[in-house]
Amino acid sequence: MNKAVKRVVIAGGGTAGWMTAAALSKLMGSDLEITLVESEQIGTVGVGEATIPTLVFFHRLLGIDEAEFLAATQGTYKLGIRFENWRDIGKDYTHAFGVTGRDCWACGFQHFWLRARDMGFAGDFGEYCLERRAAESEKFSRLPNNGLNYAFHFDASLYARFLRKFSEVYGAKRVEGKIEQVLLHPETGHIRSLRLNGGREIEGDFFIDCTGMQALLIEKTLHAGFESWSHWLPCDSAVAVQTEAVAPPVPYTRSIARESAWQWRIPLQHRVGNGIVFASSYQSDDSARQQLMGNITGQALTEPKLIKFQTGRRRKQWHKNCLAVGLSSGFLEPLESTSIHLIQQNIVRFLRLFPDQGISPVAIDEFNREAEVDVQRIRDFIILHYKVTERTDTEFWRYCRNMSIPDTLARKIDLFTETGHVNRDGNELFVDSWQQVMFGQGLMPKRYHLLVDVMPEDELRNFIAQIKHSVDSSLSKLKGHNEYLAEMLMRT
Ligand code: FAD
């Protein structure tokens, strides 16, 4: 099909649909006709409110004003995730977004820290990470030189509304309607149009499937295939509920491991998003609902909503003239808040390979290859949290400790325990995060790099003390999270 793509149809208007519409309309709107079809009657999944720092760059790419975005979405800042009871009951750690310590050319900071720890003068690993200290002190400021890595929490339905307004300014057109049929070109098998209830037909050159877990175009019509990862990520269900805020929002997400599940708390300005993620083979829906409702603070504002999911990836995220973005492309459970990141990755990758001169099989292959690498790395990082636990108190945790893991992850764990080194594969999204989570879960390397032993003890003491001093000094310049947030909101 060597037809230039001029008419893009986005099916679905959740976070994925509106992020896609926003990017395409802002960056290519003058060359394209963009139509988004969504159905109020069907609605959206209604969760997905914690993000990672890459969203800041997505907003910068689109020229979205941070204060306006925070005001419109009841947003707050996020510096990381507090993992409670994951290593073992009562043993908590924070995975913060920043860099810990300072590397040298030959080895990472963890090697210096390991020797200092052996010699008795190092604090906790996280003490040398500004974002971690700021999260725990509930502080936040974006200062010109503090380089703080941050993300956001926001209300997902308000975010979709905000992006809808944004996209419409740049020419995207919204059509309300339920897609009842996806019509194909008989010769090519490419999608020709979407038929809506009432008979209206929306034609296009290219279709973006943002219909969520239904995957109406990419799977139900084009049968792109699905690779299940549920043997590595056994959770397949969640219950979500919103509660009133009873305390000012903290700048981090909480992830609290339970007997056979984990619970999230996402603090927004006006309310808290709560949920429990569990494996139906270890816990019933009713028991999970009860456990969640017994562990919330503040009045529930919504009825608890049960969501069923399967972890895995769509084998071809771009197939023929259809691209899957969002839940239609697959799902990794929400432990590290990575789905919205994967949405934006697919959007940016599609922009880079945009088929303005027609659809090229080489571009499709490259897209699918890169998308697979991206999602596999994140998958391994998420599995790590379950695998490297010391918990043996329930059948669920015993399964996680003993389950098989992908070879790519096994290599990463072995390399770290044998040498203290974390391999960085090209465009690795989480770099420092691996060390933070591995140390946090109690994994300790057998040795550190020999270069550290070359350093005289006084020099090592100085090096460690200097880093601590520099983090302390940066921390002292930060405002309280709520004070800073209030100042940001005043700017709108
Ligand atoms: P949806 O929100 O389901 O939107 C689908 C759209 O398609 C809707 O507009 C719907 O009306 C439309 N549609 C469907 N069928 C039709 C039809 N026949 N006709 C017309 N329109 C139709 N991600 C994160 O990054 N951070 C998190 O903290 C996080 N937490 C999560 C927690 C849970 C329990 C789950 C399940 C997911 C979580 N995610 C998270 C993932 C996140 O929710 C999604 O990636 C994100 O919301 C995008 O969803 P979507 O737009 O693909 O699908």
Q: Per mean pLDDT, which range of 37-46, 102-111, 124-133, 148-157 is the poorest?
A: 102-111
Residue 1's pLDDT is: 55
Token pair, residue 353, equals 């390979």
Query: Does the annotation flag 273 for ligand binding?
Result: no
- In angstroms, the CA 272 to CA 152 distance is 13
Q: How far is the CA of 43 from the centre of ligand 1 (A)?
A: 9
pLDDT-derived band at 429, boundaries 50, 70, 90 = confident
Query: Does the annotation flag 78 for ligand binding?
Result: yes
Is the confidence at residue 183, as pLDDT, over 60? yes
Q: How far is the CA of 311 from the centre of ligand 1 (A)?
A: 14
Mutate to test the pocket of ligand 1, among 176, 201, 211 (most ligand atoms within 8 A of CB): 211
Are 485 and 70 in contact by the 8 Å Cβ rule? The answer is: yes
246-267: average pLDDT? 98
Q: List residues with catalytic annotation.
A: 78
Residue 430's pLDDT is: 77
Q: Which residues pair with 330 in a beta bridge?
A: 313
Any ligand 1 atom below 6 A from CB of 12: yes
Any ligand 1 atom below 6 A from CB of 84: no
Is the confidence at residue 214, as pLDDT, over 60? yes
Any ligand 1 atom below 6 A from CB of 332: no
Residue 103's pLDDT is: 79
Mutate to test the pocket of ligand 1, among 15, 209, 235, 242 (most ligand atoms within 8 A of CB): 15
Is the confidence at residue 146, as pLDDT, over 80? no
Is the confidence at residue 276, as pLDDT, over 80? yes
Residue 105's pLDDT is: 77
Residue 181's pLDDT is: 98
Is the confidence at residue 388, as pLDDT, over 90? yes
The closest-lying atom of ligand 1 relative to the alpha carbon of residue 16 is 51
370-378: average pLDDT? 95
Any ligand 1 atom below 6 A from CB of 326: yes
Nearest to 34, CA basis, from 14, 56, 46, 19: 19
* pTM assigned to the model: 0.97
Question: Other CB atoms closer than 10 Å to residue 263's CB: what's the count?
Answer: 23
CA-CA distances (angstroms) from residue 85 to 101, 128, 316, 389, 438?
25, 22, 37, 9, 14
Determine the angle formed by the axes of helices 339-352 and 15-28, rounding to 10 degrees. Answer: 30
Is the confidence at residue 180, as pLDDT, over 90? yes
448-469: average pLDDT? 95
pLDDT-derived band at 487, boundaries 50, 70, 90 = very high
Residue 204 has phi, psi (to 5 degrees) of -160, 170
pLDDT-derived band at 426, boundaries 50, 70, 90 = low
Interface confidence (ipTM) of the complex: 0.99
Concatenate the DSSP letters of all residues of 329-385 into one string: GEE--GGG--HHHHHHHHHHHHHHT--TT---HHHHHHHHHHHHHHHHHHHHHHHHH
391-418 residues labelled b (16+ CB within 10 A) or e (exposed): beeeebbeebeeeebeeebeebbeebee
DSSP 393: S
Q: Tell the residue nearest (CA) to atom 37 of ligand 1.
A: 48
Query: Does the annotation flag 16 for ligand binding?
Result: yes
Any ligand 1 atom below 6 A from CB of 42: yes
Any ligand 1 atom below 6 A from CB of 339: yes
Residue 236's pLDDT is: 98
Q: How much of the chain, in percent, has pLDDT values that exceed 90?
A: 94
Residue 176's pLDDT is: 97
pLDDT per residue as tens digits for the range 125-142: 999 999 999 999 999 999
User: Which residue do the tokens 């529930």 mark?
Assistant: 300
Mean model confidence pLDDT for the chain: 96
Which domains does the chain possess?
7-76+153-228+314-371 (3.50.50.60), 103-141+406-476 (no CATH)
More confident residue, 3 or 479: 479
Mutate to test the pocket of ligand 1, among 45, 54, 157 (most ligand atoms within 8 A of CB): 45
Token pair, residue 489, equals 């909101």
The closest-lying atom of ligand 1 relative to the alpha carbon of residue 50 is 28
Are 35 and 10 in contact by the 8 Å Cβ rule? The answer is: yes
Burial label for 25, CB within 10 Å (0-12, 13-18, 19+), is buried
470-480: average pLDDT? 96
Residue 413 has phi, psi (to 5 degrees) of -65, -45
Residue 423's pLDDT is: 82
The closest-lying atom of ligand 1 relative to the alpha carbon of residue 266 is 28
Is the confidence at residue 391, as pLDDT, over 80? yes
Q: How far is the CA of 21 from the centre of ligand 1 (A)?
A: 15
